[in-house]
Amino acid sequence: MTRDEAKNKIIFALDVDNLKDIDGWAEKLSTKVGMFKVGKELFTSAGPAAVEAVKRHGGEVFLDLKYHDIPNTVAQAMLAAGRLGVKLANLHALGGPEMMEKASQAVRKEFSDNERPRLLAVTILTSSTQDTLKAVGIEHPVEEMVVRLAKLAKESGMDGVVASPLEIGAIRAACGPDFLIVTPGVRPSFAAVDDQKRIMTPAEAVKSGADYLVIGRPIAKATDPVQAAELIVDEIMAGGQ
């Protein structure tokens, strides 16, 4: 794996709430990571300007808004995400096949294959346990639901899923080599574990089959964030195929 390929696997989680901080991070890291994740807190605070700020610094965006609504509303929201020029956007697979199909068809109709955002499904949130599922009436084991929803997402036109590192193997086996797997819960060997519980190192996650790694605090809280990003690239390459 080349250095560029390893770098492009890193998605930096922009867990900030204002445009000024985005400028700071994007300026520092746009040549050091492959993409920036804009989530609900930042998008609710700063709106589309958050995406524009990253792009102004030459960065690409994963819009992590996890849509779950009636099919028409989700399809329109995905089109809006595409018009903002994001590379990745996501929705909840629990919204069902019609919701995912409509979203997939809408973006494929409006954008060329090169330009369209890649659509990811969230299967079961990693914060959910067996008890969480039971409380909402789902009696199946979490692992079974994760694979079932990943397969459904693929059949419904999704390009991939967001998954915990420990789910990568089962999803890869069920959904094949071309299905994108994006994983948070990654901790480089030099970093603190923070509140992440089911973790892997970047090299382990890539070896298990992850296409992209979402990494926040190991870079954001490092004394030297640029060096931390470079060390993560080193780790991916050292473990790489």
Nearer to ligand C5P, 53 or 162 (CB): 162
- How distant, in Å, are the alpha carbons of 104, 105, 106 from that of 109? 9, 6, 5
As measured in angstroms, the least distance from the Cβ of 133 to ligand C5P is 15
CB atoms near residue 185 (< 10 Å): 19
Measured between alpha carbons, how far is 14 from 141 in angstroms, rounded to an integer? Answer: 32
| Interatomic CA distance for residues 15 and 40, integer angstroms | 9
Asked about 66 being catalytic, the answer comes back as yes
Q: Select which of 9, 28, 32, 66 is catalytic.
A: 66
What is the binding site for ligand C5P (CB under 6 A)? 13, 15, 39, 126, 164, 184-185, 194, 196, 214-218
Beta strand pairing status for 35-39 and 61-67? Answer: parallel
By three-state DSSP, how is residue 88 classified? Answer: strand
CB of 99 to ligand C5P, least distance (A): 20
Task: Give the C-alpha separation, 218 to 32, whole Å.
Answer: 14
Quote the DSSP letter at residue 85. Answer: T
Q: How far apart are the first and last CA of the chain?
A: 6
Shortest Å distance, C-beta 38 to ligand C5P: 10
Nearer CB in complex with ligand C5P: 72/189: 189
Cβ(190)–Cβ(177) below 8 Å: no
- At closest approach, how far in Å is the CB of 134 from ligand C5P? 20
How far is residue 204 from each of residues 33, 67, 128, 200, 233, measured CA to CA in Å?
18, 29, 23, 6, 13
Least Cβ distance, residue 184 to ligand C5P (angstroms): 3
The residues annotated as belonging to the active site are 66
